[in-house]
Chains A and B, each alone.
Chain A
Amino acid sequence: MMTDFFLKLRQAGIPVTLTEFLTLLEALSQRVTAHNVEEFYYLARAALVKDERHYDRFDQVFGSHFKGLETLFDQVIGAKVPLEWLHKLAELTLTDEDKALIESLGGWEKLMETFAKRMAEQEGRHEGGNKWIGTAGRSPFGTYGYNPEGIRIGQHESRERRAVKVWDRREFRNLDDTVELGTRNIKVALRRLRRFAREGAAEELDLDDTIRSTARNAGYLELKMVPERHNAVKVLLFLDIGGSMDDHIRACEELFSAARSEFKHLEYFYFHNMVYEGLWKDNRRRYTEKTETLTVLNTFGHDYKLILVGDATMSPYEITYPGGSVEHFNPEAGEVWLDRLLRTWPRAIWLNPQSQKRWSYVPSIQMVRELMGERMYPLTLEGLGQGIRALQRIR
């Protein structure tokens, strides 16, 4: 029963781990809840779901799983089940952290033993009376018993009484579509760039100035500090948009939103396929509100790091010939413009969402890569990491 619940949660895309499951069991065994199925629902949610965007899915799984199961809560915590389902769980869901945890608890066998003991204790205690794990009919979750406030599962009339269960109200439905998962990893990768900017920072003693000032101060110490060079890294992000890039919109959005929250000095512009004389900031107004690339070149200093994101998948003409662009007449070739960018911002990389395996089959990718001095990286976490490291190496 519980295993299935757990598995269904995972199937629904809720990343529940064994650690959290053990927490729930521990909470049950410590009688955090003693009243009714509603409380059990709240407890399970607080223990298992760590993101409100998953609340709605949780509600659905909970609702469908526990629907009409009369002696449900006896089975849930019935003393005989856990060992077997723990094994099953373990095979399927152990993270490295879980494994470490289990190791630290003395390994699997030990854990099982403890568990069995705990369950036995439960049973023992239950014999004594008012503990909450129970056999049919005597559990607080059961139909009759010592918890007058408890909801009477399995009794038709009382279930009618509470017209709609909390989880059936689906109150969190609209939280689920804000999904913007995956940015965290990107942020972590981008962070490396930031850490680099902080190096040698942090309220540091300015030794030279301190010596000079102390000497001037008749040998009495006069400390001089340098201000923290906080979050100084400046990033220009140029994003290819439209056309073949449509397949990669999600990856780009994630990158963009992660970058925006990570860097104070982030400027971004859009281009299509290749950089030419104009860039734009709002894709809906790309034809009316262009910014001249020359202006951009003159606005942002050499200290900016340039990250181009594009699949570089186009006709070679778009790179090498004036007038080669598919959209407009470009007086100068794409490669001329790319060269200008690289001379203004030597710290530059190109991130390519296209699968790296295919790079060698697409001539334009080869060409752009060459123009970039080989600094093209796949738009994957690993590629991003390599790219960021490359940015740091360029002096």
Chain B
Amino acid sequence: MSESRFRGTEQYIATDDLMMAVNAAVTLGRPLLVKGEPGTGKTQLAEEVARSLNRPFLQWHIKSTTKAQQGLYEYDAVSRLRDSQLGDARVHDIGNYIVKGKLWEAFTIDVQPVLLIDEIDKADIEFPNDLLHELDRMEFFVYETREVIKAHHRPIIIITSNNEKELPDAFLRRCFFHYIRFPDKETMERIVNVHYPNLKKRLLSESLEAFFEIRDVPGLKKRPSTSELLDWIKLLVAEDIPPEALRGDQHKIVPPLYGALLKNEQDVHLFERLLFMSRRKKD
């Protein structure tokens, strides 16, 4: 197999189905839409794809106020007006006031880049539709300067969504799609391993055990994700917590430092109450 295939990296564990989705998208030059609960490695995936394929990485982070046009360019009319008032010579070239967006950058960079459009569901519901044309044609028109910006290379586009909003069908049809399922124990072990290669085996298995048990507590508002697990393990190591402290019947033992796993106050209360109840039952 050639090197142009993505297979995960030393820092990133990719499952077989994720690799397939990435490679299909890269080969066919279609965007890849990645969904999954927060902390499942969507953002990092794009960086790792860029790293492993040796491509420049561009990130366009979407907020609720982001408009599609901002990815192309913005015309800073206000600065121009001010310059004109102050008699600045720059004012004669309107090009001085065109601010390039991420898509423009991605289109005109000299090697094929990876462009991450992160958290697309944060934006207005029509946002994805507003980008369809540009993503299809790989070009757009700058009215102010009357130039057409064409992609030198079709960027590898990775789009992430936390599933806050449904995305338009027309948009979905053009993408490859992958849903990152929450990692199972085995995968999680590999993930923790790339972050803490020197972690003691016992601590790893005990902490994973405890982590998945907490994730299973019914009714949690925000179940702890990979990032919380990683933070927690870091704390456990820093505080020199022995694996025994995590071991055994979780209904009896309160995992140390579990505040790192449960960030929501209500969840902490719920968890403590459940622990309290189950302990009374067992005593």
Contact = CB atoms under 8 A, between A and B. Distances in A.
Interface residues of B, number: 34
A184 B166 contact: yes
Interface in B165-198: 165-166, 168-170, 172-179, 181
B231 interface: no
Contacts of A166: 17
A50 B164 CA distance: 15
A42 B173 contact: no
B24 A32 contact: yes
Given A42-B17, A50-B175, A223 B65 contact: no
Interface in A17-33: 17, 19-20, 23, 26-27, 30, 32-33
Contacts of B142: none
Contact of A230 (B21, B28, B65, B181): B65
A359 to B, nearest CB: 31
Contacts of A33: 20, 24
B28 A221 contact: no
A25 to B, nearest CB: 11
Given A50-B33, A191-B126, A221-B81, A27 B173 contact: no
A62 to B, nearest CB: 13
Listed residue (B24, B30, B126, B176) with the most chain A CB atoms within 10 angstroms of its CB: B24
Contacts of B65: 228, 230
Contacts of B21: 42, 46
A27 B17 contact: no
A52 B173 contact: no
A384 B169 CA distance: 21
A109 B27 CA distance: 27
Interface in B11-36: 16-17, 20-21, 23-25, 27-28, 30, 33, 35
* Interface residues on chain A, size class: 35 or more
Given A32-B23, A32-B24, A42-B17, A220 B164 contact: no
B221 interface: no
A130 interface: no
Given A32-B28, A46-B176, A261 B165 contact: yes
A46 B181 contact: no
B78 interface: yes
Contacts of A38: 16
Nearest to B164: A261
A363 B23 CA distance: 63
A2 interface: no
A175 to B, nearest CB: 8
A50 B165 contact: no
B85 interface: yes
B17 A45 contact: yes
A223 B172 CA distance: 42
Contacts of A187: 125, 165-166
A30 B178 contact: no
Contact of B173 (A55, A97, A183, A228): A97
B82 interface: yes
Interface in B36-72: 65
A9 to B, nearest CB: 14
A171 interface: yes
Interface in B198-238: none
Contacts of B17: 42, 45-46, 166
A354 B183 CA distance: 45
Contact of A39 (B20, B126, B172): B20
Contacts of B82: 221, 223
B81 A183 contact: no
Given A23-B30, A39-B20, A171-B181, A50 B81 contact: no
A51 B78 CA distance: 43
Given A33-B20, A46-B21, A50-B175, A15 B169 contact: yes
B164 A27 contact: no
Contact of B170 (A97, A171, A221, A223): A97
Q: Which 5 A-B pairs have the closest CB atoms?
A: A52-B179, A42-B20, A221-B85, A50-B172, A46-B21
15 contacts: A17-B173, A23-B28, A27-B24, A33-B24, A38-B16, A43-B20, A45-B17, A46-B24, A171-B181, A172-B181, A184-B125, A184-B166, A187-B165, A221-B81, A261-B164
Given A15-B169, A46-B178, A51-B177, 11 more contacts: A17-B173, A20-B173, A32-B23, A32-B27, A33-B20, A42-B16, A46-B17, A47-B176, A50-B177, A52-B35, A262-B125
